[in-house]
Amino acid sequence: MKINLINPNTCQGMTDKIATSAAAICAPGSEIIAQSPEHGPLSIECAFDEALAGAAVLDCIAKGEQIGVDAHIIACFGDPAIDACRELASAPVIGIAGAAFQLASLVASRFSVVTTLSRTLPASHHLLQRYGYQHVCASVRASDIAVLDLEAVSEDSLQGLLSECQQAVEHDGAEAIVLGCAGMSDLVSRLQQHLSVPVIDGVAAAVKLAESLVQLGLKTAKTGNYAAPLPKQYIGRYQHWSQ
Ligand code: 2AL
């Protein structure tokens, strides 16, 4: 099966990293096709970044549908434009935040999210609320590592991230840790070595959920909320969407 792994930011290093993480965990018959938008922010760390990246992610979904992928993954922790992606796609679309929350809730009764900058904390709380996981979330903590600093993470930053995970377990009662950025996908085993609770990387979680959905023959429902966008004219830079 072909999995369209979309890095919504335009950092090629992160696209390569998540492609490696996904390839390491996917089933032998799965092919990971990693891509990122041509336009947009190098990292996604606020609603402004997310709005710009969201529109560009739709182009990546269209490309994936054109080549007949079996599933799409949106590999940014905000799951940018996920509902719009589902309107566009017939294949299932999985966001890494939703995937990580789902798997965490299967192995722990309470989990914590450990994310990047403090300014993204409200966004993580909104995601938990939106997906209905607020009641099983022990805490959301920030490591204060910028997304692009995850490209070559320093020992100090890694220790800071680990310390937040440990505090989530010891002080907040977390029974599992959800990593709040796709750029942390290469850190999961290093963190897991020092933590007594399961550590969940959304990229790996999304790959395994995508494979499950494809094997079960489950696609995005096209009859209600996720029906295709209405045919209409789009002006200016979005005219390629006109039908
Ligand atoms: C992310 C992520 O996963 N990719 C990105 O650019 N920003 N998440 C985050 N919490 O900052």
pLDDT in tens, 60-100: 999 999 999 999 999 999 999 999 999 999 999 999 999 99
**Distance separating alpha carbons of residues 39 and 242, to the nearest angstrom:** 20
Say if residues 147 and 82 touch (Cβ distance below 8 Å).
Answer: no
Atom of ligand 1 minimally distant from the CA of 42: 6
What are the chain's domains?
Answer: 2-96+205-241 (3.40.50.12500), 97-201 (3.40.50.12500)
Please work out whether the CB of residue 77 comes within 6 Å of at least one atom of ligand 1: yes
Residue type for position 221: A
Q: Where are the beta strands (DSSP E) in 132-207?
A: 137-142, 177-179, 199-201
pLDDT in tens, 147-205: 999 999 999 999 999 999 999 999 999 999 999 999 999 999 999 999 999 999 999 99
* Residue from 101, 181, 200, 203 to probe ligand 1 pocket by mutation (most atoms less than 8 Å from CB): 181
Say if residues 182 and 75 touch (Cβ distance below 8 Å).
Answer: yes
